[in-house]
């Protein structure tokens, strides 16, 4: 616990283009909880290379993602916003934790099976041990809480198992992280298949609204969103497409579900889709403008990158040194 507050860790991969779902479901929520916790928000670029990346594109996307964190409202003075690859302790602790993780545990990870199916020509060891690096990410900062989606729950569970196993041998070295159970962001589904989450890896570009989409693109995607033949705007599981659009409208305006349903009572899907597009654009255009301003201020962003990497490194290395001492590595001679 730092300064009387619990510590929270989270991060996003520097691959693909962030979607409206990433913003409303996670990033926007990070801003609202940043005063409650000591927050470490990482651009997890080390995780990104389990799939082959173009180097220039990866660097560019990592910087875009970091500036989007800031543009969304995360204060770099209050929150530690940094590149995972700039803190070598992540890789060092991951190796140690590999030696406390069982093959059977990793074999049960469903995400490995899913990604292996998608990238059959590159089933590498990093893809297999990905959860161990994620455990290192979390445990380095003695995180009390971690906001995770259902698809990442397995990874938090194995993190807890690894930490508990290590602690049972060497004492209370790691904080056992809990799932963040505070306010959660909206769950946004694909515009073309509302049974699936909106995803930056969706093969159908019309299924996702990307944070950098211009207004015309946003409006077009909303107008093409799948609905149904019922013709009524109701928040019902029987109308998943309409329900998803209501969720988007609600999340962008701050209105309740009942208020949204009442507002569009008697109106058609065409009017509703147009209204959804307008409120999404009203949220994303200012975000895009602020992100562009930050990208242009190279000296400012470079200063944040350097300063926050040092801050993250300080806390991460405190944990790493403790772990190294516990397992018997020779102490480093300091001048």
115 tagged catalytic: yes
CB 3 within 8 A of CB 137: no
Residues 6+ apart with CB under 8 A from 126: 49, 50, 133
Strand order in the sheet with 178-179: 80-83, 38-43, 7-12, 145-146, 178-179
Measured from the Cβ of residue 243, the count of other Cβ atoms closer than 10 Å reads 19
How many CB atoms are located within 10 Å of the residue 58 CB?
17
* Catalytically annotated residue among 197, 221, 243, 273: 197
Catalytic residue among 6, 187, 200, 318: 200
**197 classed as catalytic:** yes
Residue in 115, 221, 243, 273 annotated catalytic: 115
User: 3-class secondary structure for the chain?
Assistant: CECCECEEEEEECCCCCCEHHHHHHHHHHHHHHCCCCEEEEEECHHHHCCCCCCHHHHHHHHHHHHHHHHHCCCCCCCCEEEEHHHCCHHHHHHHHHHCCCCHHHHHCCHHHHHHHHHCCCCCCHHHHHHHHHHHHHHHHCCCCEECCCHHHHHHHHHHHHHHHHHHHHHCCCCCCCEECCCCCCCCCECCCCCCCECCCCCCCHHHCCECCCCHHHHHHHHHCCCCCCCCCCCCCCCCHHHHHHHHHHHHHHCCCHHHHHHHCCCCCHHHHHHHHHHHHHHHHHHHHHHHHHHHHCHHHHHHHHHHHHHHHHHHHHHHHHHHHHHHCCCCCCCC
Residues forming the active site: 115, 197, 200
């Amino acid at each position: 616990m730092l300064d009387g507050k619990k510590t929270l860790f989270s991060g996003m991969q520097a691959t693909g283009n962030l979607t409206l779902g990433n913003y409303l479901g996670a990033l926007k929520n990070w801003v609202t909880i940043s005063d409650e916790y000591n927050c470490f928000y990482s651009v997890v670029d080390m995780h990104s290379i389990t799939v082959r990346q173009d180097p220039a594109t990866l660097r560019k996307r990592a910087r875009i993602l970091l500036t989007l964190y800031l543009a969304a409202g995360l204060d770099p003075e209050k929150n530690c916003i940094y590149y995972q690859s700039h803190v070598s302790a992540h890789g060092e602790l991951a190796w140690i934790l590999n030696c406390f993780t069982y093959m059977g545990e990793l074999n049960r990870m469903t995400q490995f099976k899913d990604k292996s199916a998608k990238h059959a020509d590159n089933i590498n060891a990093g893809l297999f041990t990905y959860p161990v690096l994620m455990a290192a990410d979390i445990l380095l900062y003695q995180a009390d809480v971690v906001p995770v989606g259902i698809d990442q729950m397995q990874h938090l569970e194995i993190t807890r198992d690894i930490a508990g196993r290590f602690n049972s041998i060497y004492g209370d070295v790691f904080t056992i992280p809990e799932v963040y159970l505070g306010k959660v962001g909206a769950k946004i589904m694909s515009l073309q298949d509302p049974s699936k989450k909106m995803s930056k890896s969706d093969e159908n570009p019309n299924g996702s609204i990307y944070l950098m989409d211009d207004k015309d693109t946003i409006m077009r995607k909303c107008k093409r969103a799948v609905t149904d033949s019922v013709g009524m705007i109701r928040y019902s599981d029987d109308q998943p497409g309409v329900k998803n659009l209501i969720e988007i409208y609600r999340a962008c305006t701050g209105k309740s579900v009942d208020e949204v349903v009442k507002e569009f009572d008697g109106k058609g899907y065409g009017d509703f889709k147009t209204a959804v597009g307008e409120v999404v654009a009203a949220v994303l255009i200012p975000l895009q403008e602020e992100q562009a301003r930050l990208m242009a201020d190279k000296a400012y962003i470079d200063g944040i990158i350097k300063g926050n990497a040092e801050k993250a490194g300080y806390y991460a290395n405190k944990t790493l040194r403790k772990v190294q001492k516990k397992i018997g590595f020779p102490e480093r001679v300091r001048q």
